[in-house]
Structures are given as structure tokens and as C-alpha cells.
Structure 1
Amino acid sequence: MELLPANTPRSYYRGAGRIHRFRGIATPDDPYYPEDWVASTTSRHQQAPLGMTRLPGGQMLADAIAELPEWWLGPEHVARHGADATILVKLLDAGQRLPLHVHPGRRFANAHLASPYGKTEAWVIVHAEPDAVVHLGFARDVGPDELAGWVAEQRIDEMLAATNQVPVRAGDAVVCPAGVPHAIGSGVFLVEVQEPTDLTVLLEREGYSTGGHLGLGYDVALACVDRQAWTPDRLAGLRGERSTDRPGVRRLFPERADEFFAAERLCPDPVSALEPAFSVVVVTSGEGTLQSEHEGSRAVRAGDTAVIPHGAGRCALRGAVQAVRCKPAS
């Protein structure tokens, strides 16, 4: 069980210093550090090892897992996935509205990008300014020529007007399936859990220096976009907190997320009981103690992030504290 230092690769959009204040570290003068990649075995697209986590002792987490995969991930996980953690967790601080973009699904990524993973993701909102929104899916069906025209001519206002603007507030948990166009609005700070890739197609690219089509050209890349209408009923299916049989633990996402990852809200009552599993824990408020069966205990407080190996055994979070726990699909 390790408490992790911040891991903030430079990005193409601005943060507002929330990650650094949350983590209790100095805020850089450069605002383009809006993400903390937590317990990451994934690199920036074509920029390895940028984005990958180094443990406090200096070893890369990916190397530590490769040396002792069953200790870190558990024998059942290793039998299915090898030494692949299969998730990526981030803190994300939107100091501006992110550009409208989309992540490919597994079938597209396998066919065009030699990746077994796409990028279904989900958001747990830690803080949101009043009137904060996310743009999530098109509100009506969009034809392929209409989408291609918007992107080629960068008719951003028309693209955004065609999306659903979904209000968000602290405590919300929302799944964003691969293929769904989305943009996180300014003033939102969240924990993101996702498939372990950095695959992004920018529909809105003006003013951004990063590439937009993954080297495929837009004629190919836009085939990954879900152009169907996301009605209010469909959007409602992207939320759904669920109970568990463990005290102080609730699952945060509906069943459609289960094949990709899991996340839990930990509110000790008086304890949050955690089964053995590779886990990434983000402490969102308060102070408490994270105890493990085989690796002792650690005092934790708001802003801490921890990685827990399967081999740590049964764990418990105690105290006046709340956290989000992310883990691979079971």
C-alpha cells in the first residue's frame, strides 16, 4: 500500500490550480497542468513514459506489477489479463471548457490503432462551480456529412448547440461511453476512471496544438463517433449508484460500466470494508486511517492518493473521512 506523489503531465488545456491545492503542493505558474495521473501504468499517446507513475521508492509502477503481477493484481485478474492493470485513474481540473472530443471504442481501436482498449470513462464530481455543465452526447441524430462539415470548417457553435448540456454538482457520478462526444465544462474538478488508453479525437481543434485524429485522418477517425441522439432517458441510464453488501461502501456507476471498471464511494459507517483487489483510492474529504490485512495502516487525509495491491488483503477505511475507490472490472 503506497501513498503516491502527484503525477501531472503537461496537457493542452488549462487547469485552475485545484489539483495542486487539493494535493497540498505548489501551484505552477504554467496553468497547463490540469491532470494528475494516479497509479498510472499508461502513457500519453506516443509519448511514453510520460504519464506513467513512479512509486515513492523510485520504481515505475508498471515495472513493479510486471515483477509481481499476482501480488499486485491477484491470480484471477492475471489469468484473464496478464500483468495489465486495465484501468487508468486521473484527477482532472477544468480551468476552461474542454474542447468537444470523443474517444474510440474497443472495436475501432482494435481495427485501426492496434489497441485492445478503447476509452470508455466515467466521472465522479468532487467540486463544481454554480451552473457547471458537461456537454454529453448529441441531442439529436447527426448525419455523417453534417458532422464532417462541422469538423472540417470548425463550426464549433453549431456542434456545441447540438449537444446535451448536463448540469453537474459535487457527488454526481456519470459514465461517458466510448464514442460519445463530450466536453467537461469550466469549473469542474473530478476523479476520472477509464480504460487504460490516451486515445482522443478532437472534434473541436482550433486553438489546440495537439493532433486531432490519431494519425488516421478525419475521414477515418470520425467513424468512431456516436452520432445518434442521446435522449433524456438514455442520459439517465449513465447514472445509477448501487448498494453493496459491505458497510460504508456504495457502487457509483450503473451496470453498463461493469465490463470496463468499477468505482465506489467510501463513507465509513463506522468503517468502509474493502475486499482484496488492486485499488486506487482518492481521499476527497476529512482525515482517517486506511488499514490493510498484510501491509499495516496509513493515516490519510483529503488530497491523498493511494494504490493498494491485491496482496494487501482485506482493507478498511476508518474515521471522519470520505474517499473514492477505483478498481478493474471484476
Structure 2
Amino acid sequence: MHTSPSAQATVLPANQPQQFYRGGSSIAALRGGGDDREFGPEDWVASTTTRFGQDEAGLSRLPDGRLLRDVVSADPQSWLGAEHVSAFGDSTALLVKLLDAGQRLPVHCHPDDGFAKRHLGSRFGKTEAWVVVGTSGSNPVVHLGFRDDVAPEVVAEWVRTQDSSAMVGSLNEIPVNPGDTVHVPAGTPHAIGAGVFIVELQQPTDFSITLEWQGFLSDAEGAFLGLDTATALETVNRSGFDDATLSSLVKRTGGIGEGRVPLLAEDAQPFFRADRLHGAAELDPSFGVLIVLDGSGELHCADGSRLPLHRGTTAVVPHAAGQTRLAGDLTTVLCRPPAAGSNA
């Protein structure tokens, strides 16, 4: 297999496209930089995904200025591996973000693959998962799924009148701590609370149906991806989430401080994979995104090259890096696309 010289493990600069909500100080603190601008709450890491309706906003650039999307599409086998390419083409099938909620996010949901294919011309919807890496404030929470079944006309009325208190009040409120992870299937109404800092894994789209847009977006037009309201609301899972459902989506891993810790619920496997790695680790060949939460060390690649890593480093690792090895006293989150045979 021909390997592009550019298919190398690479440390990535910050990539914070403008957002409508506040946050960013936790990202700046992790990275050790001074960029804590009020509306820099998301860092799109190794992104080949644009913001909805944009040509370039959201795309990651390599240190030499080239777009990662273009480099991957020019040599997908080196970056992604043959099995991945046979399943997903030249898409990384993954979007990773650092997300620092400086305020509560609006209640929203995301379309599933079927809806995205029918209405948005995309193979991928937007299932996502949250890996909580920091919290602040007296009551850090996330809101996930309706507590009880909600009739479609009730949801429509909440959206028409922009009844924020009803929307937020209808959701399960889940206290979170670092190490907790939450799987968010497409269609699930949700909101991330103020003071919650996460590594977010998503399918590679920017599709959001913003049910609670007033006070967040300038008007309703941007809330529904250009769809009419009735069609947009078809994306909402109106079923109540009971304790058993919630326990299948939420994992608590904060007490595990050694070895390799699988982070996500089983239902996430067809969409993405994530592990927290403590100290040295052997990594099989795969496209991957590394986020260093603490400490320092190196990534040793199969060709003998070494990539220095320290707290706040974000790096992209191509399949062509081969069998790699993390060395040093460091804590990292490794995000990977789904295994080629597991796509839903």
C-alpha cells in the first residue's frame, strides 16, 4: 500500500469555530493558552466536517495549513485503512470536539441516519456521546430524554410557544462528574448544563434540531436545518426514558485510574469508540484522535517516529502509523470511528 508522507501522527492546533453560546475557559485551561474568548466553547478536533451550511468553518487544518479533509480524501487508505474505506469511503466517520458549556445549552436533538438520508442528503445522522472531563459550579448536570412519553401535539406546542421551562422540566436531569459518559442516540432531546466540560464524539455532521431556540438563536429559521417545523419534529424521540434506559446509556468510570478504560455504552459501538488510557498503552492500527488530559509522554509510531505529548495536546493518528505505543506518565482519551463491521 502506498503511504502518503503526510499520513503521519500530527499534533493539531486549536480549531474553535464561532458558536452562539458562551464557554471556552476550560478549553483554554486544558491547552494552557490564553484564548478563553466568550464564544469559543467548542474545539473541533481532527474535523473533516463543516458547520451546517458553511464551506470551511469547522474544518481542521494541519500545522502546514492544509485541510485535514483534503489530505484524507487524497489518500484515504493510508489515513483510514482499507477495511474502513470499504465500509465508509473516504469519510473518517467521526467528529470529535472539546465542548465547554459556559451556560446551559438549549434543548435540542439530532436526526438519525434514515432521516438524514431522506431529508438532508447525508449518509450520516448525528448520534453522539459525551465523556465528562471536568465540571464546575454547584450542580453540574446534563438533561437526557423525556421522563415520560410526550404527545406530538404537546412537543409542537412547546416549540411554538418556546416554553423553555416545560421543555427543560420534561427531561431527565442527571448529575455528572469527571469520568462519567453519556450515550445520546439520535432523536434524544437533550441539553448540556453549565459548567460541564466534555470530550464529545459524534457522527460527522452538524445537524441539530433546536427545539428551544429563543434566547439562543436569532430566529426560528436557523433552528430546523431549513426544514418545515412538522418535518423537523419527526426527529424527536418522544418516548419516556425510564431508569433502565438511562442506566444503559450512562457509565460512571471516574473511579478507575489505571490501564485501558472503555468509556462508552455498548449501544455506541456502531457509531464510535472511546477509551481512557492511563500511562503506557499499545494501540492497534486505526484512524484515531488523541486528547491528552494530564501528564506528558510520547506516541511511538511503527516507523520509529515519536510524537511528543503533554496535557492539552490534541493529535490525529492515521491508520498508516501502524502499531503505536503510548509511553510516559499521561492520561489520554483515544477516540476512534466504529469498527468497519459494526456500522448500523
Q: TM-score, normalised by structure 2?
A: 0.91
For residue 205 of structure 1, the aligned residue among 204, 213, 216 is 213
For residue 279 of structure 1, the aligned residue among 261, 276, 288 is 288
Question: C-alpha distance in 1, partners of 2:40/2:265?
Answer: 31
CA contact (8 A) 1:86 1:328 kept: yes
| Contiguous gaps of at least 5 residues in structure 2 | 1-8, 340-344
CA contact (8 A) 1:295 1:312 kept: no
How far the C-alpha of 1:171 sits from its partner, in A, is 0.8
Residue in 1 aligned with 2:241? 230
The residue correspondences of 1:93-132 to structure 2 (distance < 5 A) are 93-129=100-136, 130-132=138-140
Structure 1 vs Structure 2 CA RMSD: 1.4
CA contact (8 A) 1:241 1:254 kept: no
CA contact (8 A) 1:248 1:273 kept: no
Output the amino acid matched with 2:161.
E
Question: C-alpha distance in 2, partners of 1:295/1:260?
Answer: 31
Question: C-alpha distance in 2, partners of 1:234/1:296?
Answer: 45
For residue 190 of structure 1, the aligned residue among 198, 201, 205 is 198
CA contact (8 A) 1:181 1:226 kept: yes
Query: Could you report, residue by residue, the CA deviation over 1:39-76 in whole angstroms, capped at 9, with x for unpaired residues?
Result: 00000001121000110111110111111111100011
Residue in 1 aligned with 2:82? 75
Residue in 2 aligned with 1:265? 276
Residue in 1 aligned with 2:95? 88
The residue correspondences of 1:169-180 to structure 2 (distance < 5 A) are 169-180=177-188
Secondary structure, counterpart of 1:237 in structure 2:
helix
| Contiguous gaps of at least 5 residues in structure 1 | none
Residue in 2 aligned with 1:52? 59
More moved, 201-210 vs 308-317: 201-210
CA contact (8 A) 1:127 1:190 kept: yes
Question: C-alpha distance in 2, partners of 1:35/1:90?
Answer: 6
Residue in 1 aligned with 2:30? 22
For residue 169 of structure 2, the aligned residue among 144, 148, 161 is 161
CA contact (8 A) 1:290 1:297 kept: yes
Query: Could you report, residue by residue, the CA deviation over 1:201-259 in whole angstroms, capped at 9, with x for unpaired residues?
Result: 111011123611111121110010000001111000013489xxxx9322211221111
CA contact (8 A) 1:17 1:93 kept: yes
CA contact (8 A) 2:135 2:196 kept: yes
Residue in 1 aligned with 2:318? 309
CA contact (8 A) 1:90 1:191 kept: yes
Q: Are 1:300 and 2:320 an aligned pair?
A: no
CA contact (8 A) 1:102 1:225 kept: yes
CA contact (8 A) 2:180 2:251 kept: no
Output the amino acid matched with 2:152.
P
Residue in 2 aligned with 1:43? 50
CA contact (8 A) 1:89 1:194 kept: yes
Q: TM-score, normalised by structure 1?
A: 0.95
Secondary structure, counterpart of 1:84 in structure 2:
coil
Overall identity of the aligned pairs, in %:
45
For these two proteins, the number of residue pairs brought into alignment is 323
How far the C-alpha of 1:293 sits from its partner, in A, is 1.1
CA contact (8 A) 2:24 2:42 kept: no
